[in-house]
Structure 1
Amino acid sequence: MNIVASLALLCLSAAAAVSGNESTETVLSAAPGDFILLQCYIGANVTPVWTTWMKDGQVVAGNGSYAANPRFALKQDGTLTISEAITEDSGSFLCSSALPDNRTINARVQLQITNIPSTHPDCMFVQAQDTSSVQLNCSWFGAYPTPKLRWGEDGDFQVTNSLNVTLNSSMLHDKQKVTCTALHQLLKQENQKSCSITLRAPFPEGTPLVTVLEGTNLTLTCSETTSLPPAITTWRKGQNQDLIVSGSRYILSFEGPAVKLTIVNISKDDERYYFCRSENALGVRELEVYLTVKTSSSAYTGAVIGVFIAALIMGSAFIVVKVLYSRRHTICLGGGFMQAEDSGDVLDLVDSDDEQIFHDTVPQLHPLANGRHTTLVQIHRIPSSEDHEDTETAGTDPQPPEQKEEATEEAEDLVSF
């Protein structure tokens, strides 16, 4: 722990009266944690009658009174001691001491506690209604002696704890980074501290298309959270973008970053474009919202159309099911749904009632050895497209008589029943 003493050197004038007052002033610097001695009077074997110490107009120690701060103590010779000095001990100390020879000694000590804050400077915006410029503030409190601050790279350092700067909008652009640098006499150049702000243009967000029923109330919401400095957001209407203010028809409300517009008792005249406009020093951006107003009749018409379409779909499904059911045998037998019956041969099945007529009209042959009757049946083939082609071929290339006889014999086959 360092011990720092302040010597209040008194230059006594030989011509001074016995009851005269003597005063002096000195400046003392110390670091946090030091043990400090503030001496009021230095004399050989002289003990003051009384001594009082004041700091910034308040008594901190004196004869017959206790020290206002437990770290402060008054010695018999009038010296004020401060243990474990802190930044708040900085200030102006005044000592008044009465000597045995009726002289009064006044000593003033300006105490400076050097300090470098462990934190970086603070960069922030200064709120303003004018969007043509940006006001920034850089502060670094707790540093002693007073630090030097500078905005940007080309500016001059100024000895201050707080520095404001105004930047014109023409000098700014989106995502621009602005830096404040702090210097201190106890801080090395490579260890300098700084803070910065990144500027951002506004970007309002919301629902661009809204549909509402006539006669109801509607609330349009627009949020803007990305702009730096914070943008000013307003609602406007129509192609002329007339500014909307709160009244009986329109109600404006703010919930954090959201700006809400409530339209009361909506009519067909409210069907138009609405604009959520956000503006800061970096630019202006708008969110277009188109409001469609539906009347009660249009809503009823829509419901009727919906019911008609549903009925049409159900009717079509019923017809398809009915067709499938009517052709179930064809589908189950593998014939296909739309496949037509195209067979070259026709086989007629005779019912039981017509069986006797069939036997009477068809010639019967003599019984065979097994006792069964044999009926002579000629199978006639229905001409097809292939048979027609064969007929044309036969006309151009006649068959020999032998082949014709064989064909006649093959046509007259015997079929037993």
Structure 2
Amino acid sequence: MAAGIQPRVLVYLGALLARWVAAGGPYQLEVNISTTGSLPNGTLYAAQGSQVDFSCRSNSRPSPMVEWWFQAPHSRNEPFGNNLTVSCFTLLLMSRNLQGNYTCSAMNMLSGRHRKVTTELLVYYPPPSAPQCWAEMSPGLFKLQLTCRWDGGYPDPDFLWTEEPGGVVVGSSKLGVEMLNQSQLSDGKKFKCVGSHVVGPESGASCVVQIRSPSLLSEPMKTCFTGGNVTLTCKVSGAYPSAKILWLRNLTQPEVVIQPNSHYLITQNGQRSTLTIRNCSQDLDEGYYVCRAENPVGVREVDIWLSVKEPLNIGGIVGTIVSLLLLGLAIISGLMLYYSPVFCWKVGNTFRGQDMNDVMVLVDSEEEEVEEEEDAAGVEEEDANEREELPKEIHKHGHIHRVTALVNGDVDRMGNGLQALQDDSSEQQSDIVQEQDRPV
């Protein structure tokens, strides 16, 4: 029995050996990935959103079984499927999560031999937005620093800085930072940054900066009262990059910078700076103050004169004004008394309660009577004039006396004067009638 089994085992082993010797391969493994490009070290890359075809072939007897495996960074292998002859598939839209190692494996099912090839595939994508560039003062150095940023892409883009117009190259790097000396700067000059990425766009993307020297605005003069506070203001405009603002004391020593302390308070909000001086003193604080704005493009200064005065005496000012008003009234009253006594006489009688119309009528009547008497005296004969001359003088002087009494405000005499005036008027009319009836 044992002798019969042994020949069978030998036949079976011989058959297996024959099949193993007859099986061949897999001898070669051809992997093809249609990507965008490859790096100098052989690493393949594809653009995000592109279509990528994968294929794997092998020569083997009998035909091998081919499998695809994918391993993302920091992940385990995942199978894509298998085929007995050819394994191929297509990824229509490459995305970032499909970046990793792709492995093609071929196994001879008869002999059990297998081969595999692993290929690293990167997924590149440009930044989604436009680049940004700016200019600033370099930290610790009085130089201009140009900075260009184009974030959000993979891998990082390359940057090229040029002067505009002209296109003179300033520098190129992956950092996008360039340092410029003072000799390379002038007011209004433009610098252009061009960012380029391995997957496009072909012309790249760009941004431009224009540098400017500062301009200053401030009040030329300020006043402070002794013991009070005053604030000097200085505003910078048009500066790019932003200017550094300093306060200095006096024109003779502009290098002496004012430092904040209990006497000086310095505040800055953007490109606006203020200097507050507390407890002003004429000896210490009056004079020139200098506001200086500087950036790598230029330096500007403006002078502010501070005048320190004693506080105003409000009580003395009010007293002076009242005194001037009273003096003005006195001068006006004196002029009126001098140039218009009749007006003052009227005012005086008004205060004494007299009727000015009566006085004025009385004076007018007296003047008319005198004129009539003078006309009659010219017509009459010389001897008649001599007879009436003395009474008329007495009569005239009597009227003057009565008018004087009225002017002086003698009420009793005024009454008597009015009565006497009426009697004299009646007598005068009688004399005129008698003279008319008298035969010539």
* CA–CA separation in structure 2 for the residues paired with 1:173 and 1:364: 115
* CA–CA separation in structure 2 for the residues paired with 1:181 and 1:317: 86
**Alignment partner of 1:149 is 2:159:** yes
Q: Post-superposition shift, 1:105?
A: 3.9
| Matching residue within 378, 382, 391 for 1:362 | 378
SS at match of 2:176: strand
**Alignment partner of 1:175 is 2:207:** no
Contact 2:128 2:153 in 1 (8 A): no
Equivalent residues in 2 for 1:122-141 (5 A)?
A: 122-130=132-140, 132-141=142-151
Q: Post-superposition shift, 1:358?
A: 3.4
Q: Post-superposition shift, 1:167?
A: 1.0
Q: How many residues end up aligned between the 2 structures?
A: 307
Q: Post-superposition shift, 1:35?
A: 3.5
Q: Post-superposition shift, 1:283?
A: 1.6
Q: Post-superposition shift, 1:206?
A: 1.9
Contact 2:72 2:97 in 1 (8 A): no
Give per-residue Cα distances to partners, 1:356-403, cap 9 Å, x unaligned.
Answer: 7536633338xxxxxxxxxxxxxxxxxxxxxxxxxxxxxxxxxxxxxx
**Alignment partner of 1:164 is 2:182:** no
* CA–CA separation in structure 2 for the residues paired with 1:95 and 1:310: 109
Q: Taking every aligned residue pair, what percent have the same amino acid on both sides?
A: 25
Contact 2:143 2:181 in 1 (8 A): yes
| Matching residue within 209, 218, 226 for 1:214 | 226
SS at match of 2:260: coil
Q: Post-superposition shift, 1:281?
A: 0.9
Structure 1: runs of 5+ lacking an equivalent:
1-8, 13-24, 64-73, 330-347, 366-417
| Matching residue within 65, 69, 75 for 1:46 | 65
Structure 2: runs of 5+ lacking an equivalent:
1-25, 30-40, 344-363, 382-440
Corresponding residue number in structure 1 for 2:50: 34
Give per-residue Cα distances to partners, 1:95-143, cap 9 Å, x unaligned.
Answer: 596968486846132324364x575432112442456320101233456
* CA–CA separation in structure 2 for the residues paired with 1:302 and 1:230: 50
Contact 1:54 1:95 in 2 (8 A): no
Structure ID, larger Rg: 2
Contact 2:228 2:280 in 1 (8 A): yes
Corresponding residue number in structure 1 for 2:426: none
* CA–CA separation in structure 2 for the residues paired with 1:228 and 1:10: 68
Q: TM-score, normalised by structure 2?
A: 0.56
Corresponding residue number in structure 2 for 1:254: 268
Which one-letter code corresponds to 1:128 in the other structure? S
Contact 1:122 1:140 in 2 (8 A): yes
* CA–CA separation in structure 2 for the residues paired with 1:154 and 1:143: 27
Corresponding residue number in structure 2 for 1:93: 101
Which one-letter code corresponds to 2:272 in the other structure? A
Cα separation, partners in 2 of 1:355 and 1:156, compared to 1, 3 Å: closer
Contact 1:252 1:262 in 2 (8 A): yes
Corresponding residue number in structure 1 for 2:212: 200
Cα separation, partners in 2 of 1:184 and 1:214, compared to 1, 3 Å: same
Equivalent residues in 2 for 1:268-417 (5 A)?
A: 268=282, 269-296=284-311, 303=317, 307=321, 311=325, 315=329, 351=367, 354=370, 357-358=373-374, 361-364=377-380
Q: Post-superposition shift, 1:203?
A: 1.4
* CA–CA separation in structure 2 for the residues paired with 1:145 and 1:52: 22
Higher helix share: 2
* CA–CA separation in structure 1 for the residues paired with 2:377 and 2:27: 166
SS at match of 1:252: strand
Contact 1:52 1:96 in 2 (8 A): no
Contact 1:89 1:113 in 2 (8 A): no
Corresponding residue number in structure 1 for 2:235: 223
Structure 1 range deviating more: 132-141 or 201-210: 132-141
Contact 2:160 2:173 in 1 (8 A): no
Q: TM-score, normalised by structure 1?
A: 0.58
**Alignment partner of 1:110 is 2:121:** yes
Structure 1 range deviating more: 130-139 or 246-255: 130-139
Contact 1:36 1:85 in 2 (8 A): yes
Corresponding residue number in structure 2 for 1:413: none
Corresponding residue number in structure 2 for 1:59: 75
Cα separation, partners in 2 of 1:96 and 1:11, compared to 1, 3 Å: closer
| Matching residue within 266, 271, 281 for 1:267 | 281
Which one-letter code corresponds to 2:50 in the other structure? D
* CA–CA separation in structure 2 for the residues paired with 1:306 and 1:76: 113
Equivalent residues in 2 for 1:6-17 (5 A)?
A: none
* CA–CA separation in structure 2 for the residues paired with 1:94 and 1:359: 151
Q: Post-superposition shift, 1:171?
A: 1.9
TM-align CA RMSD: 4.5
